[in-house]
């Protein structure tokens, strides 16, 4: 399959076993209790189309507050503003991660003609400011040909508001969408593998003229009729948490001939469920049955549906929090057309996260799980060493052997349904796509073939 790094059977087994459950130390308390002395809030839905209402629930100690609605990204712009809304201080439930029972403070109708993108409602008053992120989907009659899936389940999984996220020790672990989501803010304190990271991919797609339409995980959970007319689906940045329904609907799309660009790392990894109202998400990292549905939980690879069987690659712990370029293995492949590459040439040397397109958390091919016709086109030259919490390594740091054992595999295969599946296998790939001309050429080549 073109991989120049040979491994013994023992090494291969260790790679599979080293996919540890979780990427944070699960030692509570990970998060402080909520600070109710500052303004904050959440919405009743993470995705909405033009003409649909969104309800906002806000807590503030101040008498009044203002709201500004922004389209996020390189073309960030204010859409609308509301001044001097009446404020109120909300109460906490006993277990706030199970959902805040806050009443609706105001409703906003997404204006007709609002383009698909990430948006933020910025709340502000004398106590400070707070961003509430959400997705505007396309109107039914104004769809493009490229759909992008925002990793909204992952936003929820990393949300520790109220003192708990999915990364705390007690199992099963539930996290509610009915909470402020500070970790998913578009800038500043926002994690760069959530909204910020996904925004880099969306910005580039828009700049390159592909006019992407944006959806959230729960849109795929509820059905795939909306996806039928799209030749291409892009999975973005860190699509880690998937329901059974999402897996089934993605399989149906690919079986019907759809094409997939997996521009993510550590994707399709944990199985999650939702309650009947689609507001509380549950993960069972210890593999027990979900209390919500009775279904067995845990890693998809332990449930008979490996991520490799769909996207071709799967997460490994080696190379964790290292950043490096890819080494070209098949320079004559059509994916690299226009780059004039030779075998072992490096690509993806620039990026907004560590100057390496292969980085943070990465995925590799496993022969027993990946499709038999998969091609490894390039491999990240990341070292086998994983970094400890709070540390990272960036090529060409002389303290590490950049042997490729911990690097992402860039892959392509033809799905039995007839479409193609391209995988980058790296969380930092989108950060490189934003600035690296070679990576941009690769993604353009893939998209243009899929849209032809």
Percentage of the residues of the chain whose pLDDT score is greater than 70: 92
- Calculate the average pLDDT of the chain: 91
Single pTM value for the model: 0.93
The sign of the dihedral angle between the CA atoms of 339, 425, 414, 369 is positive
Q: Quick check: 11 pLDDT over 70?
A: no
Q: What are the structural domains of the chain?
A: 9-34+134-451 (3.40.50.880)
Nearest to residue 376, comparing CAs of 357, 359, 386, 363? 363
Q: Quick check: 362 pLDDT over 60?
A: yes
Q: What is the DSSP letter of 437?
A: H
Q: Quick check: 123 pLDDT over 80?
A: yes
Distance of alpha carbon 312 from alpha carbon 421, whole angstroms? 8
Distance of alpha carbon 166 from alpha carbon 159, whole angstroms? 8
Question: What confidence score (pLDDT) does residue 396 get?
Answer: 94
Q: Quick check: 433 pLDDT over 90?
A: yes
Whether the Cβ atoms of residue 58 and residue 125 lie closer than 8 Å to each other: no
The strand ranges marked E within 196-239 are: 213-216, 232-237
| Burial of 71 from C-beta contacts in 10 A (0-12 / 13-18 / 19+) | middle
Whether the Cβ atoms of residue 224 and residue 143 lie closer than 8 Å to each other: no
Question: What confidence score (pLDDT) does residue 93 get?
Answer: 82
Distance of alpha carbon 1 from alpha carbon 333, whole angstroms? 13
Spell out a b/e string for 419-430, using b for 16 or more CB atoms within 10 Å of the CB, else e. Answer: bbbbbbbbbbbb
- Three-state DSSP class for residue 206: helix
| Burial of 241 from C-beta contacts in 10 A (0-12 / 13-18 / 19+) | buried
Distance of alpha carbon 406 from alpha carbon 319, whole angstroms? 4
Ranking 72-76, 161-165, 169-173 by mean pLDDT, the lowest is 169-173
The sign of the dihedral angle between the CA atoms of 213, 214, 216, 217 is positive
Number of helices (H) and strands (E), helices first, in the chain? 8, 26
Question: What confidence score (pLDDT) does residue 4 get?
Answer: 41
Whether the Cβ atoms of residue 371 and residue 311 lie closer than 8 Å to each other: no
DSSP element (H, E) containing 445: helix 437-451
Give the position of tokens 């120049």. 4
Question: What confidence score (pLDDT) does residue 10 get?
Answer: 55
The pLDDT of 101-113, averaged and rounded, is: 96
Q: What is the DSSP letter of 426?
A: B
Whether the Cβ atoms of residue 433 and residue 440 lie closer than 8 Å to each other: yes
Nearest to residue 429, comparing CAs of 297, 314, 264? 264
Question: What confidence score (pLDDT) does residue 94 get?
Answer: 78
Distance of alpha carbon 439 from alpha carbon 430, whole angstroms? 9
Give the position of tokens 């790679």. 15
Q: How far is CA 311 from the centre of its chain?
A: 14
Distance of alpha carbon 338 from alpha carbon 71, whole angstroms? 34
Q: Are strands 146-150 and 173-176 parallel, antiparallel or unpaired?
A: unpaired
Q: What is the DSSP string of 282-313?
A: EE-TT--B-TTT--B-SBGGGTT--THHHHS-
Q: Quick check: 310 pLDDT over 80?
A: yes
Nearest-10 Cα torsion for 282, 285, 289, 293: 20
């Amino acid at each position: 399959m073109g991989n120049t790094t040979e491994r013994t059977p023992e090494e291969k087994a260790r790679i599979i076993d080293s996919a540890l459950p979780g990427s944070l130390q699960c030692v509570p308390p990970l998060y402080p209790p909520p600070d109710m002395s500052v303004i904050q809030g959440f919405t009743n839905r993470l995705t909405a189309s033009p003409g649909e209402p969104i309800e906002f629930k806000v807590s503030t100690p101040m008498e009044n507050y203002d709201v500004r609605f922004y389209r996020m990204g390189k073309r960030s712009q204010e859409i609308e503003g509301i001044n001097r809304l009446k404020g109120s201080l909300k109460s906490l439930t006993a277990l706030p991660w199970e959902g805040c029972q806050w009443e609706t403070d105001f409703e906003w109708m997404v204006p007709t003609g609002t383009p698909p993108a990430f948006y933020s409602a910025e709340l502000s008053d004398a106590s400070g400011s707070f961003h509430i992120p959400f997705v505007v989907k396309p109107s039914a009659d104004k769809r493009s040909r490229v759909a992008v899936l925002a990793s909204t389940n992952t936003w929820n999984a990393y949300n520790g508001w109220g003192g708990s996220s999915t990364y705390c020790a007690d199992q099963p672990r539930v996290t509610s969408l009915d909470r402020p989501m500070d970790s998913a803010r578009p800038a500043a304190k926002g994690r760069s593998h959530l909204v910020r990271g996904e925004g880099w991919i969306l910005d580039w797609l828009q700049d390159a003229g592909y006019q992407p339409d944006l959806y959230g995980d729960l849109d795929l959970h509820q059905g795939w009729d909306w996806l039928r007319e799209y030749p291409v689906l892009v999975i973005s940045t860190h699509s880690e948490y998937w329901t059974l329904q999402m897996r089934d609907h993605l399989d149906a799309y690919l079986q019907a001939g759809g094409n997939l660009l997996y521009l993510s790392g550590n994707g399709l990894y944990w199985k999650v469920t939702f309650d009947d109202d689609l507001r509380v998400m549950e993960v069972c990292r210890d593999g027990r049955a979900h209390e919500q549905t009775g279904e067995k939980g845990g890693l998809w690879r332990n449930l008979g549906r490996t991520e490799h069987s769909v996207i071709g690659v799967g997460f490994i712990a080696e190379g964790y929090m290292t950043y490096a370029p890819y080494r070209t293995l098949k320079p004559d492949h059509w994916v690299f057309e226009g780059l004039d590459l030779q075998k072992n040439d490096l690509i993806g040397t620039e990026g907004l996260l560590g100057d390496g397109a292969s980085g943070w958390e990465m995925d590799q091919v496993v022969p027993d799980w990946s499709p038999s016709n998969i091609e490894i086109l390039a491999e990240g030259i990341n070292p086998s060493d994983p970094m400890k919490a709070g540390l990272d390594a960036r090529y060409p740091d002389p303290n590490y052997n950049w042997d490729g054992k911990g690097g992402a595999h860039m892959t392509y295969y033809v799905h039995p349904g007839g479409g193609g599946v391209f995988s980058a296998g790296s969380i930092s790939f989108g950060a490189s796509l934003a600035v690296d001309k070679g990576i941009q050429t690769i993604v353009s080549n893939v998209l243009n073939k899929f849209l032809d």
